[in-house]
Structure 1
Amino acid sequence: MKSVKVSDYMNRHPVVFTSQLAVEAAVERLLQSRQRGGPVIDAERNVIGFLSEQDCIAALLKGVYHQEQTATVADCMFHPVLTVNEDDAIVDLAERMTLEKPKIYPVLNHSQQLVGIITRTDVLRALDIHLHDGYPKH
């Protein structure tokens, strides 16, 4: 199981955001993609934050309550962000996920640039597939 890497199960084409994007536009991207959140990146694809559905709900509620234009992604994103490396073992990430809160981890390459995301569902799928491979065949 140690040979199964994050890169084997990650989403290589996640929805990403820039810090200056309006929250309303970010919400549209999330709704269209059905992704629960995504990394905020700079021009070099370095992860500078994370925007979740919860962050968007809070920003939209604040805008509605105050009858104002809502903020940019930079105003609501979470940072610092917990990330994983594409070469990390799935089993190691699964162990981290039992202790840490994130449901989605940005995946970085050796240059610390974003190459994808991996979710709890992706990790669960990987564990399930590889555990089934070890079950006796009937």
Structure 2
Amino acid sequence: MPEPILPAEAAAAAHKRRTGLVRLLHAGRHSLRGLADGWGEKAFRLEACLAAVLLPLACWLGQGDWVKTALLCATALLVLIVELLNSGIEAVVDRIGPEWHELSRRAKDMGSAAVLLSLLLCGGAFAAALFERMVRG
């Protein structure tokens, strides 16, 4: 006798049957929900506000060089991307259980370290561009 299909399995099976525009619309809805969940995180909101300042600054620092502008914008957006991934890691670890475990600590700490590295990359790129702008005028 076949095993009964659980609700989660049925939903996953329905998702795999979707194709084309319908699949794209569903994926877009999930992405927007992920952004909304990210907005619920204080760190993400702070970094989004920072990006709102840095993106126009990138245009000014780029001095018409679209490659420099794009790279500066990419570093600012990378911080948001890494923060969303870190929040996802934390959510999965928290779902497993509230008890302390070394692997849970490592996962959360590595996610946090990734955010720190993305912030340092962004800060370094903007500092270098600002220095160049000030020196060259």
User: Normalising by the residue count of structure 1, what TM-score does the alignment of the two structures yield?
Assistant: 0.27
More helix by share: 2
The higher relative CO (CA closer than 8 Å, separation ≥ 6) is in 1
Provide the TM-score with structure 2 as the length reference. Answer: 0.28
Q: Which has the larger radius of gyration?
A: 2
Structure having the larger proportion of residues in strand: 1
